[in-house]
Amino acid sequence: MSQMKEGIMIILSSPSGAGKTTLVKLLSERKGLITSISHTTRKPRSNEVNGKDYHFVTNDVFKKMINNQEFLEYAKVFKNFYGTTKSTIFAQLSKGKNVIFDIDWQGTEQIISQKLKNKILTFFILPPSRKELFKRLSNRDMRDKLIAEERMKQFDKDILHWKDYDYVIVNKDLEVCYSQISKFIDDKINGDENQYDTSIIEAHIKKLIS
Ligand code: 5GP
């Protein structure tokens, strides 16, 4: 029982464009999860707010934070740095708050390898099809379509990391996807067993990479 006093860490990763950011917002709002706000050296998109979506910092500031060992994990993704700071996260977890992270597979690996005392639940979110993924990536506030194409290439590499996650979820319908994740989180918190069939996922992955 005592380990449940500490909050659990819920990690969502996905190849870019699978709809993970929307899911994280929904999970946080509806389930009262604390969202981890990362630091990044990426420039803000037009709809992003500093301190809410990310803490936008310069390369120099980020490097100083690395040297000061402020990060629980950090990684370079698409030529920019992204990282999760230790201080706020651990303060929340020790108060029993459950924290949700929107980070890539490199950060997930780093957190798992630290063997923290907190329970960790990891989800890898996939798009329903390549066609839909390209559509989502092209609709973003990006300088040109080349970036979408670059991210499609990255998708083929990122998808290979699905095996490192507890659950792989296909985001075809936002509400269905939300309900699946929500149930797995509740099961983890309550210590309940659950049904999870990897054969459907393996078939979907084959389709996505072929
Ligand atoms: P975007 O630039 O589209 O917001 O994010 C690009 C990628 O960086 C996404 O896969 C996102 O999950 C990942 N990311 C965002 N914050 C962090 C972080 O703090 N650490 C790591 N390792 N990845 C992050």
Using a 6 Å cutoff on CB, does residue 18 contact ligand 1?
no
Distance of alpha carbon 73 from alpha carbon 38, whole angstroms: 10
- Is the per-residue pLDDT at 60 higher than 90? yes
Which tokens hold the place of 96?
A: 């029993």
- Ligand 1 closest atom vs CA 16: 10
1-20 pLDDT tens trace: 444 489 999 999 998 778 88
Model confidence at 142, pLDDT cuts 50, 70, 90, reads low
pLDDT at 140: 64
In Å, the largest CA–CA distance within the chain is: 52
Q: 88 versus 107: which is more confidently predicted?
A: 107
pLDDT at 3: 47
- Is the per-residue pLDDT at 178 higher than 80? yes
User: Residues 36-41: what's their mean pLDDT?
Assistant: 98
Using a 6 Å cutoff on CB, does residue 38 contact ligand 1?
yes
pTM above the 0.85 mark? yes
Instruction: Please answer whether residues 24 and 39 qualify as being in contact, where contact means their C-beta atoms are separated by less than 8 angstroms.
Output: no
Using a 6 Å cutoff on CB, does residue 55 contact ligand 1?
no
Per domain, the residue ranges of the chain are 9-36+97-209
- Ligand 1 closest atom vs CA 54: 16
The mean pLDDT value of the chain amounts to 91
Residue 69, Cα to own-chain centre: how many angstroms?
Answer: 22
Q: Which residues of 95-113 are buried (b: 16+ CB within 10 A; e: fewer)?
A: eeebbbbbbbbbbbebbbe
pLDDT at 84: 98
Residue 122, Cα to own-chain centre: how many angstroms?
Answer: 9
Using a 6 Å cutoff on CB, does residue 41 contact ligand 1?
no
- From start to end of 14-137, where are the E strands? 34-35, 39-40, 55-56, 71-77, 80-85, 99-102, 120-126
Please report, in angstroms and rounded to a whole number, the separation of the first and last CA atoms in the chain: 46
pLDDT at 144: 63
User: Residues 80-103: what's their mean pLDDT?
Assistant: 96
- What percent of the chain is modeled with pLDDT above 90? 70
Parallel/antiparallel/unpaired status of strands 167-170 and 120-126: parallel
- From start to end of the chain, where are the E strands? 9-13, 34-35, 39-40, 55-56, 71-77, 80-85, 99-102, 120-126, 167-170
pLDDT at 116: 93
CATH fold, domain 9-36+97-209, is: Rossmann fold (3.40.50)
